[in-house]
């Protein structure tokens, strides 16, 4: 495993804010660092490093930095489009096109170069902060590009190639939800999908069901869950520990509790929290916990959608309330996670979108192709936080693989981390481990090299299909 040479066109755009005093209260300066090997994006003149607020990375995932564009963000249009999407409405074309103002040749050349590319293009979009990242950029991209040729994914291209997961017939899908709060029409529609193999998991709570699903080796999970953002901007999922005898949460119950909470005694608050089922602190699953649970497992695609609880209700835990913002914070995490597909706002007819999405994954074996087919050209507010570099995330294989690719990849990552730590210690204190320790290091290196050799078929792009 290592940096991959893409066999298809890729562009990575890292968006950061610029602290400049000459902008108005409405217009905010943004810098776009463009990484690509596309000839059409080569700058007309060298980058003027003295004009940049910070020194960016020279490469990302093997893609060189080719230009730095400057754009103006219209804060009022930005808020207007975000508000429309959060309320389940379609923003106007005029508002979408007015969010960004291309005020230099590099930024304009980026958009023109992507449109002119003859082959399909994957655009990695990485924003520097949560406010920018949580914006539905996919909705804007639908107004600028043809989404049947341009795939917008979140994050930066990884340096290490995650392997494709072999499946004998079709990927398996597990549904994880709390019957008390999950949308009934969505669950009924997902239970009828025929493309992926539906796996039923029986447990006492959504968290236990998720654990059982990954232990069974399912490749896809659709999780219906609330989420929140900590004050450190960490996305956290609300996964109840138990689903026995809990009442359905209502907007009225949440509203009454939020209104009178300051006036209640500690014992009464504790009792009401238990009755109203809003003890989120005991249910929250952090990024670290989720990563530890999924590390080395076959789970490749994690789809997340909200519960039936109204999203405009302020939760009572002292944490930030937006579920959609939370999904974005979770997807932005640098922790080892599967590819996450999550909405950034309410999806009209989600009971149609999600089944179509999973049906298309089963046929195309590609998350990007599945999203394009299920969402259509309209640009639904659905983000793909891609962790995989290859075009397809699955491959069909009749015989059982010699090694489990996902487990092998996790072992290689752990070996790299251990060897890196040993090298750092030796650089400071010298190599005093002796022959026995040197033999241990050599065995770890040999094992890592053997695993890399076994993974070759799963990390090599297929010329015809990648």
The predicted-structure confidence for 342-380, as pLDDT tens digits, reads as follows 999 888 889 999 999 999 999 999 999 999 888 877 778
Q: What is the pLDDT of residue 260?
A: 67
φ and ψ at residue 141, rounded to 5 degrees: -60, -30
Q: What is the pLDDT of residue 305?
A: 93
Q: What is the pLDDT of residue 22?
A: 52
Task: List helix spans (H) across 283-399.
Answer: 287-294, 323-332, 350-364, 367-375
Closest by CA position to 68, among listed 125, 30, 15, 106: 106
The residue among 449 and 24 whose pLDDT is bigger is 449
pLDDT digits 0-9 by tens, 129-143: 888 999 999 888 887
pLDDT band at 97 (very low <50, low <70, confident <90, very high): confident
CB atoms within 10 A of CB 155: 23
Whole-number Cα distances in Å, 163 to 62, 158, 159, 376: 17, 12, 13, 28
**Rounded Cα distance, 246 and 209, in Å:** 17
Count of residues in the chain: 466
Q: What is the pLDDT of residue 379?
A: 76
**Rounded Cα distance, 222 and 211, in Å:** 13
Q: What is the pLDDT of residue 241?
A: 60
pLDDT band at 146 (very low <50, low <70, confident <90, very high): low
Chain mean pLDDT for the chain? 81
Q: Decide if pLDDT at 236 tops 70.
A: yes
Counting DSSP H helices and E strands in the chain, the numbers are 15, 18
Q: What is the pLDDT of residue 286?
A: 87
Q: What is the pLDDT of residue 382?
A: 93
Q: Decide if pLDDT at 49 tops 80.
A: no
CB atoms within 10 A of CB 425: 13
> How many Cα atoms sit within 13 Å of 155 on the Cβ side?
26
- Report DSSP state, residue 245: T
- Report DSSP state, residue 261: G
The SS3 of residue 72 is: strand
The residue among 45 and 243 whose pLDDT is bigger is 45
Q: Decide if pLDDT at 462 tops 90.
A: no
pLDDT digits 0-9 by tens, 260-302: 666 777 777 666 666 554 444 457 888 999 999 998 899 999 9
pLDDT band at 71 (very low <50, low <70, confident <90, very high): confident
Mean pLDDT, rounded, for 202-225: 90
pLDDT digits 0-9 by tens, 147-204: 667 888 999 999 888 999 999 888 999 999 988 788 999 999 999 999 999 998 888 7
Angle subtended at Cα 345 by Cα 290 and Cα 152, rounded to the nearest 5 degrees: 75
Supply the pTM of this predicted model: 0.84
Q: What is the pLDDT of residue 298?
A: 93
Q: What is the pLDDT of residue 321?
A: 47
Q: What is the pLDDT of residue 274?
A: 60
Contacts of 262 (CB under 8 A, 6+ apart): none
Q: Is the dihedral of CA 48, 54, 55, 57 positive or negative?
A: negative
């Amino acid at each position: 495993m290592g940096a991959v040479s893409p066999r298809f066109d890729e562009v990575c755009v890292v968006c950061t804010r610029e602290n400049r005093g000459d902008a108005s209260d409405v217009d905010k300066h943004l810098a776009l660092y463009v990484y690509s090997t596309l000839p059409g994006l080569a700058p007309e003149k060298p980058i003027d490093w003295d004009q940049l607020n910070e020194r960016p990375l020279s490469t990302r995932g093997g893609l060189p930095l080719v230009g730095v564009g400057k754009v103006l963000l219209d804060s009022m249009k930005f808020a207007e489009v975000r508000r429309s999407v959060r309320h389940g409405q379609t923003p106007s074309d005029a508002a979408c096109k007015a969010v960004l103002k291309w005020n230099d040749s590099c930024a304009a050349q980026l958009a023109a170069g992507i449109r002119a590319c003859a082959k399909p293009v994957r655009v990695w979009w990485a924003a520097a902060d949560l406010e920018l990242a949580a914006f539905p950029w996919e909705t804007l991209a639908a107004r600028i590009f043809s989404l049947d040729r341009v795939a917008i994914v979140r994050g930066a291209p990884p340096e290490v190639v995650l392997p494709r997961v072999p499946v004998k017939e079709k990927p398996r899908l597990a549904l994880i939800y709390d019957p008390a709060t999950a949308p009934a029409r969505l669950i009924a529609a997902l239970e009828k999908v025929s493309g992926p193999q539906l796996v039923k998991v029986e447990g006492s709570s959504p968290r236990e069901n998720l654990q059982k699903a990954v232990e069974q080796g399912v490749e896809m999970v659709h999780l219906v869950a609330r989420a929140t953002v900590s004050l450190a901007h960490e996305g956290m999922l609300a996964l109840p520990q138990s689903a026995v005898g809990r009442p359905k949460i209502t907007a009225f119950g949440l509203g009454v509790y939020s209104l009178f909470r300051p006036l209640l005694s500690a014992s009464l608050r504790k009792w009401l929290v238990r009755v109203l089922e809003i003890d989120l602190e005991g249910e929250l699953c952090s990024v670290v916990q989720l990563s530890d649970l999924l590390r080395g497992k076959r789970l490749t695609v994690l789809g997340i959608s909200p519960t039936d609880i109204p999203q405009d209700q302020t939760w009572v835990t002292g944490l930030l309330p937006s579920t959609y913002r939370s999904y974005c914070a979770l997807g932005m995490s640098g922790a080892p996670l599967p590819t996450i597909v999550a909405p950034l706002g309410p999806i009209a007819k989600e009971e149609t979108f999600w089944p179509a999405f999973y049906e298309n994954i089963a046929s195309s074996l590609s998350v990007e192709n599945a999203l394009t087919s299920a969402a259509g050209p309209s640009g639904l507010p659905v983000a793909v936080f891609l962790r995989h570099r290859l075009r397809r995330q699955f491959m069909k294989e009749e015989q059982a693989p010699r090694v489990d690719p996902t487990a092998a990849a996790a072992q290689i990552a752990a070996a790299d981390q251990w060897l890196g730590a040993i090298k750092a210690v030796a650089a400071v204190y010298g190599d005093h481990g002796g022959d026995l320790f040197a033999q241990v290091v050599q065995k770890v290196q040999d094992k890592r090299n053997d695993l890399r050799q076994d993974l070759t078929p799963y990390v090599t792009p297929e010329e015809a299909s990648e």
